[in-house]
Amino acid sequence: MSQPRRTSAILLLILCVAALCALPWLLPPGQLVAAVQMLIAALFACAFNLLAGQGGMLSFGHAAYFGVGTFATIHAMNALGGAGLLPTPLMPLAGGVAGLLFGLVAGWFATMRSGVYFAMITLALAELLHALAPHLKGVFGGEAGVSAMRMPAWGFTFGSDIEVYFLVLAWVLVSLAALYGLTRTPLGRLTLGLRENANRLRYLGYRPHTLKTLVFALSAMFAGIAGGLQALNIEAGNYVLFDVKLSTDAVLFAYIGGVNAFLGPVLGASILTFLSQTLADITRSWLLYQGILFVLVMLFVPDGLVGLVQGAARSLRERGLANWLPRATVSVAGGLLLTCATVFTVEMLQRMFARDYRSLLAMNPEAGWPDIPLFGHDWAPLAPSTWLIPLALFAAGLVACRWALALWRDDAQAAPTLEAAQ
C-alpha cells in the first residue's frame, strides 16, 4: 500500500473510532443497546473470519465457543459469593480463557480432517453441546439459564447503558487490534499458507495439524471474548446460545461483509445486526431479506460488500468523477428499483398468506378478498393493477441494470483503445 493510501486509511480509521466514541450522544437511548450488539457481533464475526477467511477452514459450529465464553463469564461474575472472580472490566478474560481451552480440545479433533468433513465435525461438536446443555443444569442452568449482575469496579457502577457501551467498545477495539496484529506475525502468514496450500507447508517442515489447531484455538478464544461481552451486556445466558442460528449468523456476517478484507466481517455484522434490530419490528419477513442479500452477494459480489466499496473507489480513481458518476447513478437506480419491486411483492404475499388474513377471509368468503393495507394505501390483492406496480418496477430495474452494465462495459473496452492510441 502506497504512503498516501496508508495515510488515508489511518485517517479513516481514526474518524470511525471517533464516531463510535460519540455514538451514545448521537443515538436515541433505545438504540444504544443495538449498538452494543453490533459491536459484539463484529468481534464474533472477525473471530470466525480468522478461521474461515484467513485459515480457509469453514466452521459451522462457532456458536459453541461464543456460548462457552458467555457461561464462563457468568460463572466468574457469580464467583466468591457474587463479588466476582475478576473486576468487571476484566471479566471477558474468563470467556477468552474458556474459549481457548475448549477450542484447543475441539480443534484438535476437528482439524484432523479438512474441507466438508471439517465443517461437519464442527457442526457436530456444536450440536452435541447444544443437546447436552439443557441436561447439565449445574453449568448451564437448564431452561431458565444462568444470570449474574455487573458489580462496581474502578470507580464505575456499570449500571448505565453508556458505561456498558464504552466497556464493550474498549474490548472490541483491543481485540480487533490484536487480531490485526496477528495477521502481521509469522503465524498470520502461516495461516494464509494453510488456506492456500497446506501440503507445501508440510514439505517446508511445518506441521499443518498443529498450526490448524492453534489457529482454531485462537479463533475460539476471541469468540469466547465476544461471548463474555455478551454476558456483561445482558447479564444472563441460556443454552439457546449454542443454537445453530448463531453459527449461521457468523457465516453470513463474514461472507456478506467480505472474508478477504480484515474489516469485511465488521461491515457485514454491523449491517445485518442493524437490519435485524430494525426490520424485525417492521416486517416478519426480515430473515427472507437477509437470505436474499446473502444469495445476491455470493452470486454477484463474491468479495463481499467491502469488495464492492473497494471496487467503486478504485473505479472512481481511474475514471474520474465526471466519467464515474453517471454510471454509478444508473447502477444505484437499477438496484433501488429492483429492491422496491422485491419488497412490495414479498410484503404483499406475506400478508396474503398470513394466518390472520386467511382467517378473516374464511369468516366472510362472500365479501371476497379484503384489501391489504401497505405503505399507506389499501391494495386489492386480486386486482391486476396491484401487481402491475411491482412488475413495472422490476422491468424498469432490469432495464437500468442492463444499461449500467453496457456503460461499464463500453468504458472498459474504450480504455485499451485509448492506451494504444497514446
Give SS3 for 147.
strand
If DSSP codes are grouped into helix, strand and coil, which group holds residue 237?
strand
Helix (H, G, I), strand (E, B) or coil at 339: helix
pLDDT of amino acid 421: 44
What are the tens digits of pLDDT across the range 284-327?
A: 888 888 888 888 888 888 888 888 888 888 888 877 888 888 88
Query: Are 346 and 393 in contact, with CB atoms under 8 Å apart?
Result: no
Closest-CA residue to 224 (of 107, 304, 368): 107
**Residue 177: burial class (beta carbons within 10 Å; 0-12, 13-18, 19+):** exposed
Residue 66: how many CB atoms within 10 A of its CB? 32
Residue with cell 453517471: 326
Domains defined for the chain, CATH in brackets = 16-301 (1.10.3470), 320-411 (no CATH)
Per DSSP, what are the bridge partners of residue 378? Answer: 373
Judge contact between 224 and 19, C-beta under 8 A: no
The C-alpha atoms of residue 121 and residue 110 are separated, in whole angstroms, by 6
pLDDT digits (tens, 9 = 90+) for 171-207: 999 999 999 999 888 888 888 888 888 888 888 888 8
DSSP calls for 97-110: HHHHHHHHHHHHHH
Report the pLDDT value the prediction gives residue 20, as an integer from 0 to 100.
85
Q: If you compute the radius of gyration of the chain from its CA atoms, what whole number of angstroms results?
A: 25
Between CA 396 and CA 403, with CA 397 as vertex, the angle to 5 degrees is 90
Residues 294 and 304 sit within 8 Å (Cβ to Cβ): no
Give backbone dihedrals phi and psi of 352, rounded to 5 degrees, phi first: -65, -35
Query: What is the reported pLDDT for 286?
Result: 82
Predicted model pTM: 0.86
For the chain, the first-to-last Cα distance in angstroms comes to 28
Q: What is the 3-state secondary structure (H, E, C) of 155-214?
A: CECCCCHHHHHHHHHHHHHHHHHHHHHHHCCHHHHHHHHHHHCHHHHHHCCCCHHHHHHH
Per-residue model confidence as pLDDT tens for the chain (422 residues) = 556 667 777 887 888 888 888 888 887 767 788 888 899 999 999 999 999 888 888 888 889 999 999 999 999 888 877 777 888 889 999 999 999 999 999 999 888 888 888 889 999 998 888 888 888 888 887 777 788 888 888 877 877 888 888 999 999 999 999 999 998 888 888 888 888 888 888 888 888 888 999 999 999 999 999 999 998 888 888 888 888 888 888 888 898 888 888 888 988 888 888 888 777 777 888 888 888 888 888 888 888 888 888 888 888 887 788 888 888 888 899 999 999 999 999 988 888 888 888 887 777 777 678 888 888 888 888 888 889 999 999 999 999 989 888 887 765 554 444 444 44
Spatial distance between the Cα atoms of 171 and 306, rounded to a whole number of angstroms: 23
| In 184-320, alpha helices (H) | 186-196, 198-203, 208-234, 244-257, 264-279, 286-300, 304-319
What does the pLDDT read at residue 148?
83
Q: Which uninterrupted H or E stretch holds 236?
A: strand 236-237
